[in-house]
Amino acid sequence: MMMTFTLITISTYLVPGDNTQSEMIRYVSWNEFVYSMLSKGEVEEIIVRPDLEIVTIILYEGAVIKGKRANHRVYHMNVGNIQRFEEKLRETEMSLGVKEGVRVIYDRNGSVAAKIFTTLLIGAVILSFLYSTKSMKMNINLGGFSQLRRAKFTLVDSMSGQGKGVKFQDVAGLKEAKIEVMEFVDYLKRPEHYKSLGAKVPKGALLLGPPGCGKTMLAKAVATESNVPFLSMNGSEFIEMIGGLGAARVRDLFKEASSRAPCIIYIDEMDAVGRARSSGASSWGPGGGEGEQTLNQLLVEMDGMKSREGVVVLASTNRADVLDKALLRPGRFDRHILIDLPTLVEREEIFERHLKSIVLEPLPQHYVKRLAYLTPGFSGADIANVCNEAALHAARHKQNIVKASDLEYAVERVVGGTEKRSHAMSPGEKKIVAYHESGHALIGWLLEHTDALLKVTIVPRTNKAL
């Protein structure tokens, strides 16, 4: 490509079709030609080149242009309509009062050199493009495809200081899940102890549960505290449009893990690569689609004829119902660890963890119990969002601290959405709605086996009634 750039650069500095000398291009406009050259009588002759739509202006020796002696005698000028140039020139001479017209010479053969040069230049550009394309194809064939086959994993090696920074103490709640996950780490650190008792080291653990409950965060904590290499990869990163790449990346991932054994492989969003295979004929042919080939390779790597020692697979998903049954059987994912929505006590722990990073009026312990009661069914991500919304609300109102009212606002916003301020109710409507909602609240309060009411409101919101 450098050759092409050089040729184009050289061509821009060459004068087209000058038979007598090779000059740098000096173009003038029509007005400059008329008022600075023609009207002063300094033009000796004009050479017209119809094929190039260019005229060459030859000045007298010692011509004076704009009050100065001209350093050059040859100038060029682009002409839009070359056929009417001489007619326009004679009309201009008459209007200027020039008695003897300038001699005009038509050079119809002078552009041959320019044509030859242009042809050679175009040929050189085409040859250069073909050569660069061929080199690019060779690079793709030799090294590009091998790069595509490589697994795009993220290495977390806590021993070398490349940890994610999240520890188990940063993960609030999930006590049972932490214990089960750490068992796998212990299997890798002390395999002889388990083998001496005749136990086989588990091949994998699957973290199940709704979105936002801490599956990925728990995996980050494992990466930091396991003290073994941790290879992390998203399920969607295996699948590509080119056939066979997914299976090749699975092989490369397990090969890398085996070379670093003992090692943990973590696959996030397992449902992207582990979906159940179709029972009918695939539209991609008898061998199955790219996703099925990738899944087949994963099944073989986890528990096939050449299963690998010292490699444990940890995966997470919130769509366990779509996973292939062969993937869920013992020998592949031996443990299914459920990470469900936090309980009341766990919500208190999570609120206390997130409120520590917010500037509050009293201490976080003053709020956590009521906030935990207000947020049944909230995940850890929802609770983090509540704390962040409270801080944003306080900042929006130019407050220096986050107050209880900000936290109440955040809970209402996350649960029911924003207030519908444009849907104002008339006093009569407000009274009817208030009676209706008060009836619900009163019955709920008086019944024996119902929870205590924490808030009653008739404010309409975007998502649903609060």
The pairing of beta strand 103-106 with beta strand 43-49 = parallel
* Catalytic-residue membership of 437: yes
The pairing of beta strand 154-156 with beta strand 230-234 = antiparallel
Please measure the distance between the N-terminal and C-terminal CA atoms of the chain and give it in whole angstroms. 66
What radius of gyration, in Å, describes the C-alpha atoms of the chain?
A: 40
Interior angle at CA 352, CA 346 and CA 353, nearest 5: 90
Q: Is the peptide bond before 342 cis (omega within 30 degrees of 0)?
A: no
Interatomic CA distance for residues 14 and 117, integer angstroms: 10
Closest CA to 263 of 179, 194, 188: 188
Interatomic CA distance for residues 95 and 89, integer angstroms: 10
Rounded to 10 degrees, what is the CA torsion of 307, 313, 317, 320? 40
Give Cβ neighbours of residue 132 (< 8 Å, ≥ 6 apart). Answer: 1
- CB-based contact 311:205 (threshold 8 Å): no
- CB-based contact 388:407 (threshold 8 Å): no
Write out the DSSP string of 379-397. -HHHHHHHHHHHHHHHHHT
Write out the DSSP string of 69-93. E-S-SEEEEE-S-GGGHHHHHHHHH
Assigned token pair, 19: 């038979």
Interatomic CA distance for residues 45 and 223, integer angstroms: 85
Assigned token pair, 391: 């801080």
Find the catalytic residue in 61, 292, 437, 448: 437
Residue given tokens 């008695």 in the structure block: 99
Residue type at position 102: V
Assigned token pair, 53: 């739509």
State the DSSP H helix or E strand holding residue 444, giving kind and residue range, or none if neither.
helix 427-446
Residues marked active site are found at 437
